[in-house]
Structure 1
Amino acid sequence: MDSLTQIVLGAAMGEAALGKKVGNKAMLWGAVAGTIPDLDVLSKFFVDPITANELHRGFSHSIIFCIIAAPILGWMIAKIYKNKEADWKGWSWLMFLGLFTHPILDAFTTWGTQLFWPFDYKVSFKNIFVIDPLYTIPFLVFVIIAMFYNRTHPKRKLFNNLGILISSLYMIITLVLQRNAWFTFWTNLENQHITYQEIQTRPTPLNSILWSANIETKDSFLIGYYSLFDKDDYINFSEFPKNHHFLGAMKNDPLIIRLIKLSEGWYTIEKHDDHLFFNDLRFGQLEIDSESKKFAFSYELFYDKDGILVAKERERKMGEASPLLQKLFHRILGNKS
């Protein structure tokens, strides 16, 4: 999830662990713990984009990391506060909750997380977008309200627990909505007599009303959209040929093998003039319409002057965000044209 959500979640976990003993210091250190796993993004300053994407949500998001880091961080905090309000065990438990709930929350997103690192398997339920105001805002409001009560006041615990409860209920609701969307996509594939191999369903940006699906067929991928406000359940699927043959001898290059693994096999190859592009389909398109050919993650493939294959990530322009949000809101309301 986004940084703000992880900070709020960490603060709520800190309050649940030690709020009654140390007050707002518990929220502060819980918020710190909630941000630590995402420090792996700093790898982009030291390695190439492919390696950075491989490292993201890896070791720092694993159970092993939480178990190792929590007691070390807890010991450091206990040294800072040399009093008897909370001991090393209490601070370690707070840090573990802050660290561990971060990858648990990330596991519900499209990107997923390597909870069981060093195993490559990623846990990804794909039922919530990385930024979802309906999840974050109520959570944030209740945490802020709780902050203004004395640490021993019963309402402080009440409001903090309300934030955790409401956000958890919303997460459960998104799982139900995802299942409903999946069934709608599946019904359309059956009714349209489309033979497919796999379906992946996920929410579109900033909401849980409009859902998209990636469908793999033998020679192509299909993408469709379904809003809970659609007046009918008919889905028009856009087709994107795999074109994997465009890779030719490149397919055996270690870089391509890594990209295929990173995309989990959900990729197409585009060819424009003499330029070749690798599109990672897992994170959807940059526009919500059937004509869009732009994907959120795309890499241009080319050989450098030394004959080494390079993958350069396509630039995403900030100026495209506003039109996208307008189209997104239009489609959320059930407007298909």
Structure 2
Amino acid sequence: MDSLTQIVLGAAVGEAVLGRKVGNKAMLYGAIAGTIPDLDTFVGNFFDTITAIEIHRGFSHSIVFAVLFAPVFGWIISKIESKSEANWKNWSWLMFWGLFTHPLLDAHTTWGTQLFWPFELRLAYKNIFVIDPLYTLPFLVFLIMAMRLKRTDPRRKKYNQIGLIVSSIYLLVITLALKFYTFQKFENSLEEQNITYERMDTRPTPLNSILWTANIETENAFLIGNYSVFDTQPIEFYSVPKNYDLAANLKDDPNLKRLMQISEGWYTFSSKNGNLHFNDLRFGNLDIEDPDSEFIFSYELAKEHGELTATETEKEMTDAKKLLPRLWARILGN
């Protein structure tokens, strides 16, 4: 999830664990714990693109990381807050839950997380977009209400609990129910249109849980369709050719195989200005209403010193500005 959401979650968890003893400092250190796992993006800057992708949401988003580093961070905080009522064990417990709930939340996004690192098992339930105001804003409001009260005020604990409950109901009940409902809609539509397919993957579109996208794999192409719970017209699917032949001479390249594994098989190739591009389909394209728009995650492939490299295609701010109005219109139904 985005940084603000992880800060809010970490702060709320910190308050739940230690707010009664240390007040707003529990929120402060909980917020810090909630941001620490995402420092892997900074570490990734020292590696090539493919390795950076593999690192992201890996070790730092695992149970192992939380168990190993919570006592370390707890000890550091206990030295900083030596006059506090909380001891090393208290701070370590707070840090553990702050570090652990971060990947638990990320597991619900499209990218997912390697919670059980070092095992190569990425959890990705794909029932919430990385930025979802309906999850974050109510959570933030209750957190601010709690923050403004004294640590001994019983309403403080109540407000924080309400925020945790509301956000959890949205994440674990509403979005999962919508994923199941929309999946059935896509499945029924494919059956009605007599479309034979190998597998299907669904996810919410940016900033909401009303409009959903489905990737459907067929023999030679991927079909992509969108469905809003407000739709009244049948679902339309458009085809994206796999174009695997474009990379036939690279099929045994180890770096290309790494990209294929990262994308979980949801990829295509395309040629632009004579350059070969690897497109990760899991995150959609830049314009939900334009099948020919570029994919959000696209990598230009090239050989450098005999080794295959991948360079992420840069996106312009104008791309996002075009996306939002079309997205909003599509959310309201076809």
- Shorter-chain-normalised TM-score: which range? over 0.9
Q: 1:101 matched to which residue of 2?
A: 101
- Deviation, 1:82, is 1.6
Greater CA drift, 83-92 or 110-119: 83-92
Structure 1 CA distance for aligned equivalents of residues 110 and 50 of structure 2: 18
How does 1:1-337 map onto structure 2 within 5 Å?
1-83=1-83, 85-171=85-171, 172-232=173-233, 234-272=234-272, 274-304=274-304, 306-335=305-334
- For 1:162-196, what per-residue CA distance to the aligned partner results, in whole angstroms no more than 9, with x for missing partners? 10000001112000001101000000111111111
Aligned AA for 1:301?
L
Any idea what SS the aligned residue of 2:235 has? coil
- Deviation, 1:88, is 1.2
- For 1:86-142, what per-residue CA distance to the aligned partner results, in whole angstroms no more than 9, with x for missing partners? 111111110011000000000000000000000111001000000000000000111
- TM-score by length of structure 1 reads 0.97
Structure 2 CA distance for aligned equivalents of residues 259 and 94 of structure 1: 36
Structure 2 CA distance for aligned equivalents of residues 77 and 155 of structure 1: 27
Greater CA drift, 176-185 or 43-52: 43-52
Structure 2 CA distance for aligned equivalents of residues 96 and 252 of structure 1: 42
Greater CA drift, 235-244 or 2-11: 235-244
CA contact (8 A) 1:276 1:301 kept: yes
CA contact (8 A) 2:77 2:91 kept: yes
Aligned AA for 2:333?
G
CA contact (8 A) 2:288 2:327 kept: yes
Aligned length: 333
CA contact (8 A) 1:285 1:296 kept: yes
- For 1:20-69, what per-residue CA distance to the aligned partner results, in whole angstroms no more than 9, with x for missing partners? 00000000000000000000000232112221111000000000000001
CA contact (8 A) 2:182 2:227 kept: yes
CA contact (8 A) 2:297 2:312 kept: yes
Structure 2 CA distance for aligned equivalents of residues 56 and 291 of structure 1: 28
Structure 1 CA distance for aligned equivalents of residues 316 and 2 of structure 2: 20
Structure 1 CA distance for aligned equivalents of residues 221 and 293 of structure 2: 14
Greater CA drift, 123-132 or 307-316: 307-316
Structure 1 residues 52 and 29: alpha-carbon distance in aligned structure 2, compared to 1, 3 A threshold: same
Greater CA drift, 239-248 or 269-278: 269-278
Structure 2 CA distance for aligned equivalents of residues 20 and 115 of structure 1: 30
- Deviation, 1:290, is 4.6
Structure 1 residue runs of 5 or longer lacking an equivalent are none
Structure 1 residues 82 and 291: alpha-carbon distance in aligned structure 2, compared to 1, 3 A threshold: closer
Structure 1 CA distance for aligned equivalents of residues 224 and 137 of structure 2: 30
Q: Percent identity?
A: 59
- TM-score by length of structure 2 reads 0.97
Any idea what SS the aligned residue of 1:129 has? coil
CA contact (8 A) 1:238 1:290 kept: no
Any idea what SS the aligned residue of 1:252 has? coil
Say what the alpha-carbon RMSD is for the aligned residues.
Answer: 1.1
Aligned AA for 2:205?
T
Structure 2 CA distance for aligned equivalents of residues 313 and 69 of structure 1: 32
Structure 1 CA distance for aligned equivalents of residues 232 and 242 of structure 2: 32
- For 1:190-244, what per-residue CA distance to the aligned partner results, in whole angstroms no more than 9, with x for missing partners? 1111111111110000000100001111111110000011123x11101011111
CA contact (8 A) 1:143 1:163 kept: yes
